[in-house]
Chains A and B, each alone.
Chain A
C-alpha cells in the first residue's frame, strides 16, 4: 500500500502505476502495488504517520513529507538554493548514500528520487526585485509553521492557508503571490488569478519514493533488487518527462495571457543574497547541520567546475 498526493490520472500517477506493474511483472506477481493517489490518505505528514503505525508500507513524497521524516531534507525547501536540474541531480546522485543513511536511521528505504518540476513565483503584480515579493501577500502552506516563520523573519508577508483555499484566497486578494510549478498553476487554474510568472526558478520540487523498512525486510534479496531496478528506471523517466511538461504548461499559459517576468543580472544577485539569508536562518534553526553543509559544498564544487569549463 503506497500513498501519494499526485492527482489521480496525472502524469506522475501514470508513471507510478507503470512502476507498480513492473514490480508485479518482475517478481512474478509476488509484489503488488496498491496506490492511494490524490491525497485520499491525507496530507504528507498524515501519510508519514500512517507509515509509522504500519497502515501504509510506502509513499511517493515531496520535501514536505520527507522533512517530517528527517529535517535534513529541508535543504530542498530553501529558495533559489539550486539553479538548474544539472546542479540538483549532481547533488542528488553524489549524496544519495547520505540521504539513504538518514532515511535508514528513521526506518525507511529510499527507492528513487522523484521530480515534481521547478517551482516559480506566480503573482498578481510583477515580481522582479526581492522587495516586489515582500510587498505582496504570499501563500504558505498552513501545515508548515517553520517555513512561515522563515518568511516572516526575512521581511515577507506569508499567509498560511490550507491548500484548498488557494484559489479563493487569490480571488478575494487574501493572497497575491504563490510559489508553484507551471504544471500545477495550469491544471489548478491558479494562473488566471496570477498573470505574472517570474522567469528565475524558485526551487525544484524534489520528491522521493520511500518504503518502510519493516515491509522491505519481508522481501527476498531478488525481490528487493527487482523493485530498486524498476524504481530507478522510473526516476530517469520522471527526469525526462516532467521538465518537458512544465515547459509545455508555461507555453500554454503564455498563450492564454500569462506574462513571463524577466529578471536583470543585478536583481538576480539580490535574490542570491536573499537566498543566503534564508540559508543562514535555516542553518541556525537546525539541530544537525552536517547534511546541509555537505549539500552546499557539493553544489559549490559543481558550480566551480562548471564555471571552469568554458
Chain B
C-alpha cells in the first residue's frame, strides 16, 4: 500500500512536471506561430493571444504546486535564525498551520470565483470556457494546501494542519463572522507566521482574504485580481525571459562568457572580480534576480576568484552582491513587472535603466579593481589572438541582447514577443549550434526547474495583486496621497523619504511582492511631486535592489549562504561593503534624474 502510494505520488509529480514543460513550449510555439503567420497579409493564429494568457495562468499555478512539492515556495527563511531544537520546531508548526489555513482560504475563494464565471459562460478561444481554464486555481491551491500540511513536521504537524484546514473551511462557510471584526489579531498571526517561514504567497493571499471579509466583500475578490494579472498581455515576458536565462545557464554559455570577458578584462588589476560582476549582470538580466545567478554561476566564479588569490571574504561579498546586479538592464524582469503594475511603457523603462544599471556594475567592478590593486591578486596578460577566438566562440550569446534591442526598438516585436523569440534563439543556439543541451535528455529537466522557479515567483505576484486590490478598494492610495501632499513640501524631501521607505520595504519584503503592493501607492505620489514616471520606476527598482543584500531578509544573503555553505552571519558581514557601494549608486540614481532620462533624451 505504502509503496503504491509513493509510486503514485512520484508518477503524479512527473506528470505535473511534464505538463508544466508542455505549457511552456505551447506558449512559445503559439507566440512564434502568431508572429510568423501575421507578417505580410497573413491571418495569424486566431485566439493565440487569449490562449497564451490563460496558459500563463496554468504555468504559474502548476509551477507553484511543483514548487510546493520541492519545498521551493519563496519564504523569508528568517526561521533559520532560530536555534535548533524545540523553538525551531514550534516555529515550523505555527508557520505551517497558518500557511495551510491561508492556502485553504485561497482555494475556497478561487472555487467561488470559478463557479461565478461558470454561470456567465465566457470563452477563452476555440470554444474553451473560461471556467475550465480557471480549474487550475482551486486544484493547484488544493494540492499546495495538502503538501504544506503533509510536511508540517511529523504526525503532530499533520494533525495541527488538519485542525487549521478545518478552521479555514468553517470560515469559508461563514465568512460573515469576520465582517466588522477587529483584524489586527489575525493579521499579527499572519505576519508572525511569515517571519517564521511560511510561504510569502500564502500570507499575502490570506491577509487579502480576511481584510476583504472584514469589509463585507466576498473573498472571490482576491482570485479576480489573480486572474487579472495572470492574463495580462505582457506577463508572459517574465517566464519566457527566465527560461532564456535557464537555457543559457544550463549549457556552457557561462564558461564561454567568462572566457571572453576574462580575455578582454583579465589584464586589468582585479580583472577576475570585474569579470565576475559583468558575467553575473549579464545572466541576472535574464534570470531576473530570482537568485538563479548565484546558484548557477556562484561555484564557477568562486573557484576562479580563489584560484587567482582573492580573499575569501571579498569573493563571498562580491558574488553575493553580483547576484542582483543587472536588474536595471533590459530586459530584466523587475523592469517588465514595474511596467505592468505602474502602466508605463516597458521599452521606455528599458532605455531608462541602461545608464543606472551600468553605473552599479561599474561601481562593483571598481571595488574589484581596488581589491586587485591592494592584494595584487593574479592578472592575465592580454593576448589578442586568444581574445578574439574567445569572442568568436561566444558570439551567439553576446548577440542575443543586440538582437533583442533591435527587435524591440525598431518596432519589430513587443517585449513579450521578443521574449518568445529569445527562447527560440536560446534553444537553437544551445541545442543545435553548440549542442550543449540534449533536447531529449536535458530539456525536460531544464523546463521543469524553470517551471518551479517561475511558479514560485508568479504565484506571489498573483496573490499580491489581491492584497493591492484591497488597498485600492479601501482607497488607501488616495488617502496616503492626501496625507503626504499635506505634510511633505519639496520633491527633494519626498525623494529622501522615499529612499528611506523603500530601504525599509527592501529589508522585510521580496522585490516581487514589493513591486505589486508598493508601486500603486507611490505612483500617484511621484506624479504629485512631478517626478518623471520612468525615473520613479528606475529609482524604485534600484532601491529594492539593495533589499537583496539587507539583513535580515535578503534573498541573495540566503542563497549565498546556501550555495557557498557559509553561516548567514558571515555572509552578512561579507556583503556589508557591497551594500555601502551600491547604496552610493542608488543615491546617485535617485538624485541625478539625468542618469535615467539622459539616454532617451539623446536618442530622441
With both chains docked as a complex, state the minimum distance between the C-beta of A38 and any C-beta of chain B, in angstroms. 9
Q: A41-B472, A145-B125, A149-B46 are in contact. Are A52 and B120 (CB under 8 A)?
A: yes
| Distance of A153 Cα from B43 Cα, bound (Å) | 7
Chain A residue at minimal CB-CB distance from B409: A172
| In the assembled complex, B133 has its CB within 8 A of some CB on chain A | no
Within the complex, the shortest CB–CB distance from A98 to chain B, in Å, comes to 20
Asked if A34 is at the interface of the complex by the 8 Å CB criterion, the answer is yes
Who on chain B is nearest to A106 by CB? B120
Bound Cα distance from A174 to B346, whole angstroms: 14
Once the chains bind, are A152 and B218 in contact (CB under 8 Å)? no
State whether A55 and B414 are in contact (beta carbons under 8 Å apart), knowing that A46-B224, A155-B41, A172-B347 are contacts in the complex.
no
Contacts of B212 in A (CB 8 A): 55
Q: Are the C-beta atoms of B346 and A165 separated by less than 8 Å?
A: yes
Q: Taking the nearest CB of chain A, how far is it from the CB of B221, in angstroms? A: 4
**Chain A contacts of B154 at CB under 8 A?**
none
A36 touches B472 (CB 8 A): yes
Q: Are B414 and A161 neighbours in the complex by a CB distance under 8 Å?
A: yes
Distance in angstroms from A11 CB to nearest chain B CB is: 19
B218 near A54 with CB under 8 A, answer yes
Q: How does the 8 Å CB contact mask read for B320-346 relative to A, with 1 for contact and 0 for none?
A: 000000000000000000010001111
Select the stretch in B226-234, B496-504, B545-553, B571-579 that faces chain A: B226-234
Report Cα–Cα, A52/B218, bound state, in Å. 10
What residues of chain A lie closer than 8 Å to B41, measured between beta carbons? 155, 157
Given contacts A143-B233, A162-B233, A172-B347, contact A52 B116 (CB under 8 A): yes
Point out the residues of chain B lying under 8 angstroms from A42, CB to CB: 225, 228
> Given contacts A145-B47, A152-B43, are A164 and B339 in contact (CB under 8 A)?
yes
Listed residue (A1, A43, A169, A172) with the most chain B CB atoms within 10 angstroms of its CB: A172
| CB interface residues, A 212-260, toward B, < 8 Å | none
A55 in contact with B49 (CB, 8 Å): no
Residues of B within 8 A of A50 (CB): 221, 224
B113 adjacent to A164 (CB under 8 Å): no
A40 vs B224: C-alpha distance when bound (angstroms): 14
For residue A269, CB closer than 8 A to chain B, the reply is no
Contact of B224 among A53, A106, A142, A161 (CB under 8 A): A53
| Known A142-B233, A169-B411, A172-B411; contact A55-B217, beta-carbon cutoff 8 A | yes
Interface residue B6 (Cβ < 8 Å from any Cβ of A): no
Chain A residues lying within 8 Å of B218, measured Cβ to Cβ, are 53-55
The verdict on A168 contacting chain B, using a C-beta distance below 8 Å, is: yes
8 Å CB interface, A130-185 against B: 142-143, 145, 148-149, 152-153, 155, 157, 160-162, 164-165, 167-169, 171-174
Q: Would you call B312 an interface residue if the criterion is a C-beta within 8 Å of the partner chain's C-beta atoms?
A: no
Closest to B342 in A: A164
Q: Which A residues lie within 8 Å of B233 (CB)?
A: 142-143, 160-162
Which B-chain residue is minimally distant from A34 (CB atoms)?
B475
Report whether B125 and A173 are in contact in the complex, using a CB–CB cutoff of 8 Å: no
Q: Does B442 contact A (CB under 8 A)?
A: no
Q: A169–B345 Cα gap in the complex (Å)?
A: 9
Nearest Cβ on chain A to B129's Cβ, whole angstroms: 14
Roughly how many angstroms separate A165 CA and B232 CA in the complex, as a whole number? 13
Q: Interface readout for B33-45 with A: 1 if CB under 8 Å, 0 if not?
A: 0000010010110
Name the CB-closest residue of B to A168: B345
Q: Which residues of A have CB within 8 Å of B49?
A: 142, 145, 148, 160
Most buried by B among A41, A49, A149: A49
**Neighbouring A residues of B232 by C-beta, 8 Å:** 162
List chain A residues, Cβ under 8 A from B469: 41
Within 8 A of A (CB), among B114-131: 116-117, 120, 122, 125
Q: A68 near B: Cβ within 8 Å? A: yes
B410 at the interface (CB under 8 A from A): yes
Measured in the bound complex, the distance between the Cα atoms of B473 and A36 in whole Å is 8
> How far is it, in angstroms, between the C-alpha of A160 and the C-alpha of B45 when the chains are bound?
12
Contact B411 A164 (CB under 8 A): no
- Whether B477 is near chain A, meaning CB under 8 Å from some CB there, is yes
A174 and B411 contacting across the interface, CB-CB below 8 Å: yes
A52 to B47 alpha-carbon distance, docked (Å): 24
* Alpha-carbon gap, A85 to B332, bound state (A): 48
B50 at the binding interface (Cβ < 8 Å): yes
CA of A155 to CA of B43, assembled, Å: 8
Q: What chain B residues lie within 8 Å of A152 (beta carbons)?
A: 38, 43-44
Bound Cα distance from A232 to B212, whole angstroms: 33
In the assembled complex, the CB of B330 is this many whole angstroms from the nearest CB of chain A, namely 13
B345 engages A165 (CB within 8 Å) = yes
Per the bound structure, the CA–CA distance linking A21 and B220 in Å amounts to 30
Q: Which chain B residue shows the least CB distance to A148?
A: B49
Known: A34-B475, A161-B414, A174-B412. 18 other contacts (CB 8 A): A41-B472, A42-B225, A43-B228, A46-B225, A46-B228, A49-B228, A53-B112, A53-B220, A54-B221, A149-B47, A157-B41, A162-B232, A162-B233, A162-B234, A164-B343, A165-B414, A169-B411, A172-B408
**7 nearest A-B residue pairs (beta carbon):** A172-B411, A174-B411, A168-B345, A53-B220, A173-B411, A142-B233, A55-B221
- 7 CB contacts below 8 A, A to B, read A1-B473, A42-B225, A49-B228, A106-B120, A145-B47, A168-B348, A174-B414
